[in-house]
């Protein structure tokens, strides 16, 4: 059974849990981080010296940290050939879009937009900075829009690990009050993801505990 350390309101934990749900894996998750604390204890730091979540153990003592590494491990060990292809060329396309999503889209949304909108008190919000970040994100999402106009999913016509890395931020992106461009293919894609039971359970999670009033 998988052991997972990380609070359910962490976007990185949500990506991991969505993957676990899609792969129908048994797990036990421990709430760690934010209001739960526990990520600065000697025991936790022995697993992950960075003190960040998520952390995973899979029936052995070796801990895995960093979300992308955990997701690739789960995909390689438990995913089928459509989710994580064995062919190096096809797998590279999935990995490429997954990396693009992580280091561009997720990082371009979470801190510069989500934290400024939700995790900043209204009187301290920099609306100009939020709008500028939303404009930069829109340019990235236009890349996804073009891709999704030709493919059912981000890396092709199969649901893959790339969709986990990309799609896990979309619930919050569509839920918060920010300027958004008209992207019909992205809208359709998001609605398809929102129909997936594992997405509903692990990603469409209330984040009120993160909100600063």
Domains identified in the chain and CATH numbers: 2-78 (3.40.30.10), 88-205 (1.20.1050.10)
Predicted local distance difference test score (pLDDT) of residue 59:
81
Predicted local distance difference test score (pLDDT) of residue 46:
97
Predicted local distance difference test score (pLDDT) of residue 60:
77
Q: What does the buried/exposed string (b/e) look like for 168-194 if buried means 16 or more CB atoms within 10 Å of the residue's CB?
A: bbbbbbeebebeeeebeebeebbebbe
Tokens 């955990």 belong to residue: 70
Predicted local distance difference test score (pLDDT) of residue 187:
98
Predicted local distance difference test score (pLDDT) of residue 156:
97
Low-confidence ranges of the chain (pLDDT < 70): none
Cis ω for the linkage preceding 125 (within 30 of 0): no
The pTM of this model reads 0.96
Predicted local distance difference test score (pLDDT) of residue 61:
78
- Alpha helices, H only, the chain: 11-22, 42-47, 67-78, 88-100, 107-109, 116-117, 127-148, 161-167, 170-175, 184-194, 197-202
Predicted local distance difference test score (pLDDT) of residue 213:
86
Predicted local distance difference test score (pLDDT) of residue 192:
98
């Amino acid at each position: 059974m998988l052991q997972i350390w990380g609070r359910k309101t962490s976007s990185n934990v949500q990506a991991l849990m969505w993957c676990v749900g899609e792969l129908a894996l048994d797990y036990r998750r421990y709430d760690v981080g934010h209001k739960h604390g526990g990520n600065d204890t000697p025991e936790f730091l022995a697993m992950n010296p960075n003190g960040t979540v998520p952390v995973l153990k899979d029936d052995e003592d070796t801990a895995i940290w960093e979300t992308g590494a955990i997701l690739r491990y789960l995909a390689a060990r438990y995913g089928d050939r459509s989710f994580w292809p064995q062919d190096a060329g096809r797998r590279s396309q999935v990995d490429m879009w997954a990396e693009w999503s992580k280091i561009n889209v997720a990082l371009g949304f979470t801190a510069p937009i989500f934290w400024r909108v939700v995790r900043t008190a209204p009187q301290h919000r920099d609306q100009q900075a939020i709008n500028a970040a939303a404009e930069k994100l829109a340019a990235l999402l236009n890349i996804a829009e073009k891709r999704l106009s030709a493919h059912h999913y981000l890396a092709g016509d199969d649901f893959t690990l790339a969709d986990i890395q990309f799609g896990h931020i979309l619930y919050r992106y569509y839920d918060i009050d920010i300027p958004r461009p008209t992207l019909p293919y992205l809208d359709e894609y998001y609605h398809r993801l929102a129909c997936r039971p594992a997405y509903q359970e692990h990603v469409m999670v209330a984040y009120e505990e993160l909100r600063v009033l």
